[in-house]
Amino acid sequence: MLLSLYSLSFSFLHHFLFSMENKYLNILSFCFSNTICGLLIVSWLARNIIHTNGLTTTLAWRRKTRKKKNQDDENKMSLLDLPDLTLDCILEKLSPSELCAMTFVCSELRDKCVSDHLWKKHMENKWGRLMGDAAIKEWKTHVATLMACLKNSNPSSYRSNTQQWRSRLAANLKPFSWLKTNHGCHNRGSSSSSPIDSVMYWYSNLESGKFWFPAQVYNRENGHVGFMMSCYDAKVRYDNKTNTFQARYSAHGRRAAEENVTWQRLRPALVETESRDLHVSDCLQGLRPGDHFEIQWRRTKEFPYGWWFGVVGHLQHCGGEENCRCISDENVVMEFRQFRPESPWKTTVLNRKDHRETGNEVSGFYGGVKKLGTEEEVSTWKRLWPSQVLD
């Protein structure tokens, strides 16, 4: 059996000997004089040949693949090879979530995708209508507070370079991860610092509902009968799950809140006057019957004002539309047609020249007046009109 195996091995080996280099031949001729040594040599050669052939095949495949890949790479054009203007045009088409996703491609795209000029458009489209002067002022104050907080809590990590802050934000931002993460100052370490002065960060705080901002709510408390056709100051925040808002009202004696406030029931404050201050009326002289207005009104002097919608009416002694002289009278009739004629809130009369807060504990107190200037303002109120007349 040993001889038979040797014979086969020799035959196998002989087949390859012709292809061997000369330097092996002398060694082999010596080894074949010994059976055991010959078997070992056959085993070694077989392994070596198989391995070499396999390796050769593998290397050849790899070279082929690499060559093809290099050719493919040469044929491919990177997004970053595009001219800046063209790339900007593409990025401008992306949604907020898509822009965020792009920040993960590479650092260069990341820096481009957090740019203010890309986010200003999204901010304007979604939040522009509600970001009035008061909301903007509140956000700037919030940013200044956070910046000071960061600077004081970790001066070594603080950088004035805005671009660095933006990169830090992008590095820690997953698409809409702001819906889950906490950007509170107390939780911010140097590794998770964010560019709090960027439009992107502002947008993210609005989307996540972390930013409570000042706004006014029409028909507060879900159209409570005591507030129909009024608009009150509130702090609101967005709920992205329901696409509605939460509102908190400041009121005397109790702190009212409301959920599921729709976009249509919100507006920014139209004047700078705070809800506890009397608005200076500068439109009374020109008011004529049929004009639409809003007037400050509060139940008692402890409550803040709300803005109430009304229409200028005719004086009691007026002869009507054709012979109307109401415009030249020192008094002007303010009507609130959502109430029944016998209601104490149906009508009030103001002095055009010397109007200050007027009223009493029964009918409430009337403050400053603002004439509505646009058809849109009037139509917004008319959409909120109650389904039945109020007492």
Which residues contribute to the site for Zn ion (CB under 5 A)?
Answer: 314, 318, 324, 326
CB of 318 to Zn ion, least distance (A): 3
If the CB atoms of residues 31 and 318 are measured against Zn ion, the closer one turns out to be: 318
If the CB atoms of residues 321 and 376 are measured against Zn ion, the closer one turns out to be: 321
If the CB atoms of residues 228 and 332 are measured against Zn ion, the closer one turns out to be: 332
CB of 288 to Zn ion, least distance (A): 8
Distance CA 386, CA 338 (A): 7
CB of 201 to Zn ion, least distance (A): 55
Residue in 283, 284, 281, 239 with CA at minimum distance from that of residue 259? 239
If the CB atoms of residues 116 and 335 are measured against Zn ion, the closer one turns out to be: 335
CA angle 262, 137, 144 (to 5 degrees): 120
If the CB atoms of residues 46 and 318 are measured against Zn ion, the closer one turns out to be: 318
**Upper half-sphere CA count for residue 85 (Cβ side, 13 Å):** 0
* Residue with the two structure tokens 């070594």: 156
CB of 366 to Zn ion, least distance (A): 20
If the CB atoms of residues 295 and 326 are measured against Zn ion, the closer one turns out to be: 326
Q: Residue 177 gets which letter from DSSP?
A: G
Per-position b or e across 242-277, b if 16+ CB within 10 A of its CB = eebbbbebebeeeebebeebeeebbbbbeeebebee
Strand partners, 332: 350
CB of 315 to Zn ion, least distance (A): 6
Question: With contact defined as beta carbons under 8 Å apart, do 381 and 309 qualify?
Answer: yes
CB of 292 to Zn ion, least distance (A): 16
What tokens appear for 297 in the block? 């009104």
